[in-house]
Structure 1
């Protein structure tokens, strides 16, 4: 789930001793990646019928593992919005791929680093189809369920104050409890990140009786997080995610990567796939690290098709810049 976690200043830089650690060395010696995941959000993190973890965030865990090991070697560590920052600071997890909204306060106070925006989220509302609510303006005077202590709660307050609207918040410890309250008619609307909401309500028996409004009240740049003070590990995370954006721009995907690797004459594709240059060496990785990411996990469109198309989600802001979106690859040279 894309948790828009409010910066509770409970983080007192307890991880100062971990900040200088070489995470790549630790992960390599351990033999597997410790990846923190917030469970129970179809499309992002969930279990399939075979009991396997699947989702966009799970694929990001696999991306880092593919880059480091050339195979999938992961321990998934269940976390909550209230524990993730301290667990990451303290070294109990190596990366939080689900990430959080990249904000000034978080970036400057948590002792953690962001690793590049991989998902552009937007906060929206789900309402009952027969409520007559068509736009956010129609929620003036409404009772709204929201997760407590999150940027969702702050965005809600800011938006309604700015537009001179009234509302009554009903707060809960997490999104699931808020949705349960909405289902029980304790509020007129539930607010959350739109894609996360779509995944969570996809299996409702009465799904057709609910509508996710098309309007959003915020733009939320989501980025994976790592401990501060370990620039090589941050670079590995940033450039591993960037591989999947670059692959899309170069027309490379999980299905054709071997053919392109064998026949491409594109210089950047050759560098990306490890045919020329030593990009992997600069990160402390093998030179086929990016090839392994695409082969084992896929390009950004592969991830989107696998996890979000079944939910009916269009890419929107998450499209490549060539298609009117916000994603643009950093050059591999």
Structure 2
């Protein structure tokens, strides 16, 4: 009996000692192991975007674009939409559906664009629209970023031998109504005491046609639009864009005010394309980088680390799909506006912040 009690006591002591060791080990492990950061796999119900929900139910994005502006938004001889803004529409559709063709293009005039957005006929304007204070603070519109830094200028015939817009005293100038262009040109000439005769037209296309028919001596618009207009003229080399830049025109995507999550979808799709160029992620190498890259920023961008897409209601591969649709920001620029295009515009202000010479394109970090 005494021997049995001794053995039982020893066994109990060993059991208690083992349990204590296990508890201590768990405590030590908890103290030395970092707490795992929670990841978001689905948006809370109160943050779900009604716009994004409607788009998913509909099966495609409705994207408002220019009626016809070479380089930005136009139809080719097969009726297919092409251009800088068009490619951002396709990238947005790819971010949502994984399919860049899940988009319907809605051509809009400058006067009709905001009504179409407010009325819900389009989900987003990717349509050369300047971000101004009155538009931003009016309570109906939200700008999600800037995809092109532009400025207003003047297109004239070389035969006039003009060197500056200040020499346009008494000139007839074609200008589009319902745009910041109309206000800027009035400010420019009034502050310099220069008389001019505005030739008011409703669309950029009408302005180009009026200029081509010599109904005006100069055509004023964003410099990118003037470069596009020059390519449509019978003898483009006979026309020049004056060196004067009379305004700042930060162009970017616009959505309806009040749907913060949808604004975030547009903002971060734009930043993903910019970051893709910064990190060297292209349409061609995105599959390989998604598979093999160990660079943390690339892994976050392409959905290999983190749950950044689901946090705004998109798939994990949202940015990967957006870049695969038409390339990164630089590829989209060069194809539509740069050296690979009829416009042959320099990057200028639209170069990456880290380029030499540097520009203003600066992607927000994904982390």
Aligned residues of 1:99 and 1:225 also touching (Cα < 8 A): no
1:221 equivalent in alignment to 2:253: no
Alignment match, 2:196: 167
Per-residue CA deviation, residues 51-103 of structure 1 (Å, 9 max, x unaligned), is: 21100111111111011000020111222222221121111111111152111
Larger radius of gyration: 2
Give the CA deviation at 1:141: 3.1
Counterpart position of 2:70: 42
* Stretch moving more, 218-227 or 103-112: 103-112
Find 2:345's aligned residue among 313, 320, 332.
Answer: 313
Task: State the TM-score, normalizing by the size of structure 1.
Answer: 0.91
- Whether the 8 Å CA contact 2:110–2:178 is kept in 1: the answer is no
* Equivalent residue for 1:145, pick from 156, 170, 174: 174
Matched, 1:274 2:295: no
Cα shift at 1:157 = 1.1
The structure-2 alpha-carbon separation of the partners of 1:316 and 1:24, relative to structure 1 and needing over 3 Å to count, comes to: same
What residue in structure 2 maps to residue 6 of structure 1? none
Q: Secondary structure at the match of 1:198?
A: helix
Aligned Cα RMSD in Å? Answer: 1.5
Instruction: Give every structure 1 segment of 4 or more consecutive aligned residues whose post-TM-superposition deviation is greater than 6 Å.
Output: none
Instruction: Please give the alpha-carbon distance, in whole angstroms, between the structure 2 residues aligned to 1:264 and 1:125.
Output: 47
User: Residues 24-103 of structure 1: matches in 2 within 5 Å?
Assistant: 24-72=52-100, 73-103=102-132
SS of the aligned residue for 1:244 comes to helix
- How far apart are 1:21 and its partner, in Å? 6.6
Q: CA deviation at 1:256?
A: 1.7
Contact 1:179 1:190 in 2 (8 A): yes
Cα offset, 1:129, TM superposition: 0.9
1:246 is aligned, of 275, 278, 282, to 275
Query: How far is the alpha carbon of 1:110 from its aligned partner?
Result: 5.0
Show structure 1 runs of 5+ residues with no match: 1-19
In structure 2, C-alpha distance between the alignment counterparts of 1:179 and 1:289, rounded to whole Å: 39
Unaligned runs of 5+ in 2: 1-47
What does 1:89-128 correspond to in 2, within 5 Å? 89-109=118-138, 111-128=140-157
Segment drifting more, 109-118 vs 196-205 = 196-205
**Residue deviations 1:206-239, cap 9 Å, x none?**
1111111232111101111111111110000000
Q: TM-score, normalised by structure 2?
A: 0.82
Secondary structure of the structure 1 residue equivalent to 2:252: strand
What is the distance in 2 between the residues matched to 1:265 and 1:167?
60
Deviation sequence 1:278-323 (CA, Å, 0-9, x none): 1011111110100001111210111011111211111111111112
Task: Tell me the matched-pair count.
Answer: 314
Give the conservation status (yes or no) of the 8 Å contact 2:49–2:262.
no
Alpha-carbon distance in 2 for matches of 1:50, 1:172: 28
Determine the C-alpha separation between the residues in 1 that align with 2:324 and 2:212: 41
